[in-house]
Structure 1
Amino acid sequence: MAHAHHHHHHERSGRNLLISILLNIGITLAQVIGGIISGSLALLSDALHNFSDVLSLIISYLANRFTKKQASSKRTFGYKRAEIMAAFVNSATLIVIALFLIKEAVERFFQPEPIAPSLVIWLSALGIAANGLSVLLIRKDADNNMNMKSAYLHLLTDMMASVAVLLGGLLMYFYQLYWIDPALTIAIGLYLIYMGYDLLKSSTKVLMLFTPDSIEVEGMVEEISRHRAIKNVHHVHLWQLNEHEIHLEAHIDFHENISIREFDAILKDIEVRVHHEYGITHVSIQPECGRCHSSQVIVQD
């Protein structure tokens, strides 16, 4: 049942991503043409962000498809990290694009150009509608999947950017405040950096095999070492394969030369405890007897 549910989740999220890709291609083409005609940098920056959305959504879609592939002798983990890599690429591009938008906006401050606000208003309204629909499609899957969250953030920030461009268009139309166009572009860029940084940091930690933030290694080792048969736990490696799997690898030194049957019972007890307390899904233990005499040696290469 759990596998069927996971498969259904992937099918639904893949379908929603495909719809969002098509919507964003349409928005991008309309806003590029409109931005050139109107002379609005904010509209062109919104179009550029939409184009980055198209690329990021395609990456997310491909990653979503790849994770369904089965493991093989050459790929024993399969493609379980595909979505983490997609999240890393998407969050990095979000920040790069934001810096480019800010640079362009600063230059526009010193070289202002005339803008046709009516076209800006209509096209930004189109962007709000299309991105709003995409956000609604992907929102449910963004809570427990880093890849879908990266796609969701791209779409959410773009919808907010379109709202900002619409407000700017209205201010230009009624009050001729043309400086609002580059000002909004800078605000959009800063917000993109703010949103992208956290996801970039999270995906980098997973790719670098860092210990998950939710687990304190020394406390976990102390918990395992409470078993009367265990002398110490050392050579601990703890990493997150993807959002659903956390792996633990360790050497355990026992007081006595226990049997395989006894070790198997202790291993099952450890698996249950670390899964319940720390969410660890996969445990690999190397049993030893009299090889490590220090309880202070926990983390080693």
Structure 2
Amino acid sequence: MGHSHHNHSHSHSELSGRNLVISILLNIVITISQVIGGIISGSLSLLSDALHNFSDVLSLVVSFIANRLSKKKASTSKTFGYKRAEIIAAFVNAATLVIVSLILIKEAAERFLQPQEIESNLVIWLALLGIIANGFSVFLLKKDADNNMNMKSAYLHLLTDMMASVAVLVGGILMKFYQIYWVDAVLTFAIAIYLIYMGYDLLKESTKVLMLFTPNTLKVQEIVSTISKIASVKNVHHVHIWQLNENEIHFEAHIDFNEDIRLSEFDKILDQIEEELHHTYGINHVNIQPEYGKRDSKHIIVQD
């Protein structure tokens, strides 16, 4: 069995954690302000934005806890440590995006049928607060979102909320100068649809990782063909490929050899396989079971 690891630096993880804390505090301020403002003004879009901000606070807290847990070392009772904590956080956060969106659609439909007069000045100022605070949070998390599913889920919550605040601002301006109050419900509906659109892909990707599906970028048959080109390899079967987290892709297989080779010869072949899988396919965890003349299923995929 061979391994190669590529970990992020400790200081990078600490920076991610600090940025999450700053974002949590900012969103608590926004949520409280928008709840009070939404009740006073009567704006559903402002209250819906506050609800989304509250879900942001929860998602950011989940992301922060997962970020801390992912640094814990493995033990005999937790041989993988908490490496999946951030994937679970991404799944939970993506799911909350979709659930909150469905609630907003229901509320928007009810308000559209019964539009209400709204204090637009308060809506405008609180929307500006949301844009500034969430914009700063988006800036803090953008870099980490590129290579971490957990941070991406937090980033998406904040990005969509910033966009929602922009929509609320536009609605406030239309209500102030043109008295178009039904736009409040329409914008709420638009925000909800956008949240579903943004959350669905992340929910799908995190589900695939949790279900141990083969990463989309890897083709099992192609990898098997690559290994089969080694002269002494007779057959590659019982293959499993899965993603543990953003940084680790695992590969395991049974390899049937043409001859009853020595252990030292197998070690050389294993090194060759590890190098090829790592450099060509980005697989950094390899587990090979060598066989010679064993009567087992030789199918590439075998149901355990």
Matching of residues 96-245 of structure 1 within 5 Å: 96-245=99-248
SS of 1:191's partner is helix
For 1:283 and 1:70, the matched residues in 2 are separated by 20
For 1:293 and 1:92, the matched residues in 2 are separated by 41
Please state how far the C-alpha of 1:50 moved relative to its aligned partner.
0.1
Structure-1 residue corresponding to 2:51: 48
Please state how far the C-alpha of 1:3 moved relative to its aligned partner.
7.6
Match of 2:64 among 53, 61, 64: 61
Answer yes or no: is the 8 Å Cα contact 2:209–2:243 preserved in 1: yes
Please state how far the C-alpha of 1:114 moved relative to its aligned partner.
1.5
Q: Deviations over 1:185-226 (max 9, x none)?
A: 000000000000000000000000000000000010010011
Q: Deviations over 1:110-152 (max 9, x none)?
A: 1222210000000000000100010001001100000000000
Please state how far the C-alpha of 1:49 moved relative to its aligned partner.
0.1
Answer yes or no: is the 8 Å Cα contact 1:141–1:148 preserved in 2: yes
Which amino acid letter does the alignment assign opposite residue 298 of structure 1?
I
Q: TM-score, normalised by structure 1?
A: 0.97
SS of 1:233's partner is strand
* Structure 2: stretches of 5+ with no match in the other structure: none
Structure 1 pair 19–210 and aligned structure 2 pair: CA distance change class (3 A): same
Which amino acid letter does the alignment assign opposite residue 153 of structure 2?
S
Larger RCO, structures 1/2 (Cα 8 Å, 6+ apart): 2
For 2:238 and 2:284, the matched residues in 1 are separated by 19
**1:274 corresponds to 2:277:** yes
Which amino acid letter does the alignment assign opposite residue 239 of structure 1?
W
* Structure 1: stretches of 5+ with no match in the other structure: none
Answer yes or no: is the 8 Å Cα contact 2:7–2:247 preserved in 1: no
Please state how far the C-alpha of 1:6 moved relative to its aligned partner.
2.0
Match of 1:299 among 279, 291, 301: 301
Q: Deviations over 1:141-172 (max 9, x none)?
A: 10000000000000000000000000000000
Structure-2 residue corresponding to 1:264: 267
Match of 1:29 among 17, 28, 32: 32
Which amino acid letter does the alignment assign opposite residue 125 of structure 1?
L
Structure-1 residue corresponding to 2:286: 283
For 1:82 and 1:294, the matched residues in 2 are separated by 35
Structure 1 pair 182–118 and aligned structure 2 pair: CA distance change class (3 A): same
Please state how far the C-alpha of 1:5 moved relative to its aligned partner.
5.0
Which amino acid letter does the alignment assign opposite residue 253 of structure 2?
A
Which amino acid letter does the alignment assign opposite residue 229 of structure 1?
S
For 2:89 and 2:8, the matched residues in 1 are separated by 23
For 1:288 and 1:265, the matched residues in 2 are separated by 16
Please state how far the C-alpha of 1:293 moved relative to its aligned partner.
8.0
For 2:61 and 2:285, the matched residues in 1 are separated by 31
Please state how far the C-alpha of 1:292 moved relative to its aligned partner.
5.0
For 1:244 and 1:279, the matched residues in 2 are separated by 9
For 2:228 and 2:7, the matched residues in 1 are separated by 37
